[in-house]
Structure 1
């Protein structure tokens, strides 16, 4: 049951358990995760939690994978906007901490990014997601030689805005989006 693949398929109950783990991590950090705490947060019995995630590392891995899947689904669901810049803003906004599950998933990204420095299995997943994101940006930019450095800068922009605004109130969403828009405008105009 130690499936740490980003393509992991979650049953409804396993997704509920992973979502509960995400909420715990987003509000209290990695160290707060235990079978007991996840059971309490999810409403499932401890035995049910252990059935889906037999150990703490699996709980943590599934939370990260589920968070990435939720983010990808949100980004993929954003329709084209008027103009390329506005489409980029709308899609990348789904990765920023501007309320609800976006804020949870942004907290997960920051937490796991930091944890990847000392936990090899997290580093492998984190690196895979980061490379996949950057490759998607490169492809969207046309795949030419100038696309790779711009993809790294898009990543840096999203990571910086996420980290700087992780605990900012939802009322600041428009400012965060304006910062994203201006950063992308500067990046793409060069």
Structure 2
């Protein structure tokens, strides 16, 4: 009998191989031949799944986004308000090698999205989902008295998004200079500013 191929599993194997190649050689070194070899497939076996590297990068971005969302759901379970807000941010920040490699996938996608409307729309839809989640956690935190600053919620969400996405760029470019503990401390320092009374109690 012919072997039954799990196509979804094969796509994920190719994305994982892409991850490893980009981590070692950068996006320019991630040729389709290198990716196929890394995944243990013949070069031609990629074309039915990803006709070009461009298709592969797009799929990889979606995979990274979904993977991050699953981590967020797992770590946020049972948490509300500020605790849930912090858990969300912690899972987006590049705090380990896997998340730094995710950033190395996302950054080339951003570059492509600058001139590709389809990719730009995918990115914007994904970021709107994150903004909506952050806004929800922030509202609950205000209701619980955990956020007291008069700063508009939209501005706080924009600041958090800039921090999270900027950290991905910085960690991917200079991983040895921006340690996970530093990123966590920076996040906690910012979140503390959202409640001056709590900040005074800790000082």
SS at match of 1:52: coil
SS at match of 1:97: coil
Shift of 1:36: 0.7
- Deviation at 1:182? 0.9
CA distance change for structure 1 residues 27 and 121 in 2, over 3 Å: closer, same or farther? farther
Unaligned runs of 5+ in 1: 1-9
Larger deviation, residues 78-87 vs 33-42? 78-87
- Tell me whether 88-97 or 38-47 shows the greater mean CA deviation: 88-97
Kindly name which structure, 1 or 2, has the bigger radius of gyration based on alpha carbons: 2
Given the superposition, is the C-alpha separation of residues 152 and 171 from structure 1 closer, same or farther in structure 2, using an over 3 Å criterion? closer
User: How many residues are paired up?
Assistant: 180
- Map of 1:1-190 to 2, 5 A cutoff? 11-79=8-76, 84-142=81-139, 146-166=152-172, 167-169=174-176, 172-186=179-193, 188-189=194-195
Q: What do residues 2-36 of structure 1 show as CA deviations (whole Å, max 9, x unaligned)? A: xxxxxxxx711111111212333344333333321
Backbone CA RMSD of aligned residues: 2.9
TM-score, normalisation: structure 1: 0.79
| 1:142 aligned counterpart, secondary structure | helix
**Alignment check: 8 A CA contact 2:171 2:178 kept:** no
Q: Distance in 2 between matches of 1:96 and 1:110?
A: 14
Q: TM-score, normalised by structure 2?
A: 0.75
State the 4+ residue runs in structure 1 displaced beyond 6 angstroms: none
Post-superposition CA distance 1:11-68 (Å, at most 9, x none):
1111111121233334433333332111012122223222221222211111111111
Per mean C-alpha deviation after superposition, the further-off stretch among 104-113 and 37-46 is: 104-113
Q: Is the 8 A contact 2:82 2:137 kept in 1?
A: no
Q: CA deviation at 1:171?
A: 8.6
Q: Distance in 2 between matches of 1:81 and 1:37?
A: 43
How far off is 1:178 after superposition? 0.7
Which residue is equivalent to 1:7?
none
